[in-house]
Amino acid sequence: MQIEPGRRPSVLALWLALLGLGGGCASDDVAGETDASSGPASVTMGASGASSATASTEGSGTETATTGVSAGTGGADPTSSTSQPSSSGTGEPLSCADLPLCDGFEGPAAGGPPDPSIWSVVSPNCSGLGTLAIDDQVDYRGGSSLRVDGAGGYCDHIFIANEGAMAAIAGEGSPVYGRFYLRLGAALGSGHVTFLTLRDDADGGKDLRMGGQSEILMWNRESDDATLPALSPAGIALSVQPPVDAWSCVEFMVDGANGSLRTWVDGAEVPGLEVDGEPTMDVDQQWHQKADWKPGLGDFKLGWESYAGQSMTLWFDEVALAGERIGCG
């Protein structure tokens, strides 16, 4: 077990470590800890051909820009589209204009906030040094993206948030599918960080959080600090390490009706990032310690939150939510 410099482990964290439960961080005052025997994951996330373009160029020169337009109103029917990406993620992605939320961050001026009709800029709990703004120097498509400069303190967090589209999808009892392009300016470190949160109104308003720990992509449940995968060497090997300075297409599905969760990166499902009906050693066994987990999602936030000191510059583009799988493209 490694303890962050200058921090003392809590008694609870020590007990968890002794019990081999690893540890995320349910709150701001618990340092993320990693098992010293857990080496870096042997799996490396492969950037797709189009998304591995250099920072200053677009992911694809032939595709037209898509701008987020129809989002946030909550009126769209997420089931209306008939085009479905194939199960392998290689089919045509859903059309942006048909989705309850779809934003390529085109339009608003560089240096300013994203479209206020879709997003609010929030710092839940407290605010500090974290900033975000439209960036017209880095993009996956269209010329602009959202840049987040997340600092290392818990109160330095900052997010963009949408509730309307989430309410429209979740209100129909549909699974919620998300898709976004992510670009990290540095590798995920050993400590716990978050770049996506989903408020679970069926779990006391606590967040489902996607981010990293032990240098891999990871989900964390704020209410009880369960991690997905478990941060054992075997669990770590079942997730991926996001590339640095390259775009990745990240997709997720959360089904509140049956309590399941899935994750894809560049169209390929990540085996360590799946919750299903069966507790699986090193994957979702911790998740099943909370009986009858059936999330009721209330919002969708992207940004940065750090619990063990890591700062990060990261970018998001082509962000979408729907009631069916969206696909990459």
Please give the residue ranges that form the binding site for Ca ion (CB under 5 A): 104-105, 139, 142, 144, 276, 278, 280, 284, 317
For Ca ion, the closer CB: 31 or 320? 320
For Ca ion, the closer CB: 280 or 311? 280
Laid out side by side, the sheet with 120-122 consists of 120-122, 158-162, 300-306, 193-200, 206-213, 216-221, 226-228
CB of 249 to Ca ion, least distance (A): 13
For Ca ion, the closer CB: 105 or 252? 105
Residue with tokens 């510059």: 313
CB of 22 to Ca ion, least distance (A): 17
Note whether 210 and 219 are within 8 A (CB).
Answer: yes
For Ca ion, the closer CB: 283 or 308? 283
Q: Which residue is nearest to Ca ion (CB)?
A: 280
For Ca ion, the closer CB: 33 or 317? 317
R_g (Cα) of the chain, nearest Å:
18
CB of 275 to Ca ion, least distance (A): 6
CB of 280 to Ca ion, least distance (A): 3
For Ca ion, the closer CB: 278 or 292? 278
For Ca ion, the closer CB: 239 or 310? 239
CB atoms within 10 A of CB 88: 11
For Ca ion, the closer CB: 54 or 82? 54
Q: Pick the closest to residue 55 from 65, 47, 63 (CA basis).
A: 47
CB of 217 to Ca ion, least distance (A): 17
d(C-alpha 66, C-alpha 102), whole Å = 9
Q: Pick the closest to residue 69 from 327, 323, 319 (CA basis).
A: 319
CB of 283 to Ca ion, least distance (A): 5
Q: Pick the closest to residue 170 from 196, 198, 195 (CA basis).
A: 198
Q: What is the enclosing helix (H) or strand (E) of 140?
A: none
Query: Cα dihedral sign for 248, 249, 255, 256?
Result: positive
Note whether 151 and 193 are within 8 A (CB).
Answer: no
Note whether 228 and 286 are within 8 A (CB).
Answer: yes
CB of 88 to Ca ion, least distance (A): 21
Helices (H), 182-279: 233-236
CB contact set of 231 (below 8 Å; sequence gap of 6+)? 22, 23, 24, 34, 35, 38, 213, 214, 218
CB of 233 to Ca ion, least distance (A): 18
